[in-house]
């Protein structure tokens, strides 16, 4: 199974996210912060943990005002903004409660779509390529407009194809099928009679010429 490339160190990703927030690139900063695991956070010094919490709070406050627009853009296919809308709605459920009934239904669909994509991401990290394709198929059935920015579908399909080729090569070439030659020749009676007739005719012709 193919492994995904390792992430940069947590401190490096944190600095990159800080710069992106300062430049107003909130969506890209959220994508980076979403890669932090509990182990990453445990490895950070206290000052870096405070910076991480501050960045998350800043992004959450910014996303609060953008929730309706992020939800609409996300369901139109922008996965980064969909993730932002879902994260905001989960952290601040009162914002979802203030939405219209139609928007609340959209939020429910968006949350389910993000759950499927997160499951696909987890399966990709574990090299479970059939599960990746299964989760993404369910995601497309739920929301056909959504994009796949990490190309999880392509990478898993390519990995499965490579595994199939490797397995075929390990088995070696298929043995050629032996076609048995006929052991006896069965003469066609009609052709035999015709040949006999031609032979007799030739003999008579030879006798006439000699005479």
Residue 62: pLDDT band (50, 70, 90) is: confident
Q: CA dihedral defined by 125, 8, 153, 167, rounded to 10 degrees?
A: -60
Residue 208: pLDDT band (50, 70, 90) is: very low
pLDDT in tens, 116-151: 999 999 999 999 999 999 999 999 888 888 888 788
Residue 173: predicted pLDDT: 67
Which residues make Cβ contacts (< 8 Å) with residue 125, sequence separation at least 6? 4
**Averaged pLDDT for residues 23-48:** 91
Say how many Å lie between the first and final Cα of the chain, rounded.
91
Q: How many CB atoms are closer than 10 A to CB 169?
A: 9
191: tokens are 């052709």
Q: 24-33, 156-165, 167-176, 180-189: which has the minimum mean pLDDT?
A: 180-189
% of the chain surpassing 70 pLDDT: 79
Residue 23: pLDDT band (50, 70, 90) is: very high
Tell me the C-alpha distance between 82 and 114, whole Å: 8
* CA-closest candidate to residue 141, choices 100, 176, 109: 109
**Averaged pLDDT for residues 14-43:** 91
Tell me the C-alpha distance between 42 and 148, whole Å: 30
Contact by Cβ (8 Å): 82, 149: no
Tell me the C-alpha distance between 91 and 93, whole Å: 6
pTM score: 0.57
Contact by Cβ (8 Å): 116, 135: yes
């Amino acid at each position: 199974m193919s492994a995904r490339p390792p992430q940069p160190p947590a401190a490096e990703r944190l600095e990159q996210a800080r710069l992106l927030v300062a430049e107003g690139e909130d969506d890209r900063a959220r994508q980076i912060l979403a890669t932090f695991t509990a182990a990453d956070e445990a490895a950070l010094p206290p000052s870096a943990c405070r910076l991480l919490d501050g960045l998350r709070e800043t992004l959450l406050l910014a996303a609060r005002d953008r929730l309706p627009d992020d939800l609409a853009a996300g369901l139109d296919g922008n996965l980064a903004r969909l993730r932002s809308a879902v994260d905001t709605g989960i952290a601040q459920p009162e914002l979802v409660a203030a939405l219209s009934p139609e928007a609340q239904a959209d939020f429910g669909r968006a949350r389910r779509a993000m759950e499927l994509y997160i499951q696909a991401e987890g399966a990709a990290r574990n090299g479970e390529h059939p599960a990746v394709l299964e989760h993404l198929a369910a995601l497309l059935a739920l929301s056909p407009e959504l994009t796949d920015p990490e190309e999880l579908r392509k990478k898993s399909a390519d990995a499965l194809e490579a595994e199939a080729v490797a397995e075929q090569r390990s088995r070696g070439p298929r043995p050629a099928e032996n076609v048995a030659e006929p052991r006896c020749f069965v003469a066609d009676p009609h052709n035999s009679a015709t040949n006999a007739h031609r032979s007799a005719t030739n003999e008579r012709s030879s006798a006439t010429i000699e005479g």
